[in-house]
Amino acid sequence: MCRNILNAFSSTIAGMEEVLWPLLMEFLIPEMYTGAFGMITKALAQSGQQQIAAKKDSFWVDFDLLVNLPKPNEIIARCFVLLGEPLVEESRGVSILNFLRIAVTELQGDLRELWEKVIPRLLQNLTDDDENKKFDSTNWQDLILKFLSKSLDVIEREDWISDIGACFVKQLPLYLKLERERGFAYKCIGIVLRKSKMNEFVSRTLESMITTINFHHENERNGWATMFGFCSTTHLDIVLQRLDMYLKLGDSKSSSSTSSGSGGGGLFGFLSSKTDTHSDLS
């Protein structure tokens, strides 16, 4: 019902587009609205398109003045992660892509040329009517990661790259109950770290990752490993240093867990539980 009402507001009621755009952007970040993200971005895309067609000045968004709105990089990061699972809400991916295509001038104008070129191709992947063609989730995520990588190449400013990377990291708690989305978020972080030339930012981000991962979830575990793989292509020394630190910390935690008779959490608790299982079978 809410979906139908919002769709009616954004597409049929005169003047409503000036209310919904950019008001609905306030609901893009909070975790409680994740399940309605496709519906919200669809309404935003419709409202934005109507204002562009009518050449209304109300389309332009002053994010500094409208303090309740999330910042552009926060919106971009949120959209890219949820694009990793485009078939949720039936067509969440289509709604997000249409929104990004409309909002690009407000989010980051320098990306307009790239996004206008790439987004129609991505939409074609999601709107293919061939019933015999099974959706390839792995291939789709690869396309989105390439899309993110090319977007970072266009801007090529270290302050912007580190800021959007920080947004991806900050939003990780939004996906605690969404294993697939959280796993893809790690991959996005890996792409950002690979592009960054700020060693301190890369090192600090990798250091923070050890406390965020739940290795009992396969998608999250694979995404975390992929993040390190992406990062190692340009920051191998930093990755090796961090992994060495994790191993040393793991030895310490393992010794502590053994003496106390209890397993730890995170990576080392996971490895410890695996070791115990194999011991029981031997």
Which pLDDT value is given to residue 254? 54
Which pLDDT value is given to residue 245? 82
Backbone angles phi and psi of 46, in degrees to 5: -65, -45
Residues 255, 68: Cα–Cα separation, whole Å? 48
Token output for 9: 């507001």
Which pLDDT value is given to residue 281? 39
Which pLDDT value is given to residue 3? 59
Q: pTM of the full predicted structure?
A: 0.86
Q: Determine the residue type at 77.
A: A
Burial class (CB in 10 A: 0-12, 13-18, 19+), 104: buried
Which pLDDT value is given to residue 128? 79
10-residue mean pLDDT series, the chain (282 residues): 55 64 95 95 92 84 94 98 93 96 96 98 87 86 98 95 98 96 98 97 92 85 95 96 80 55 47 42 37
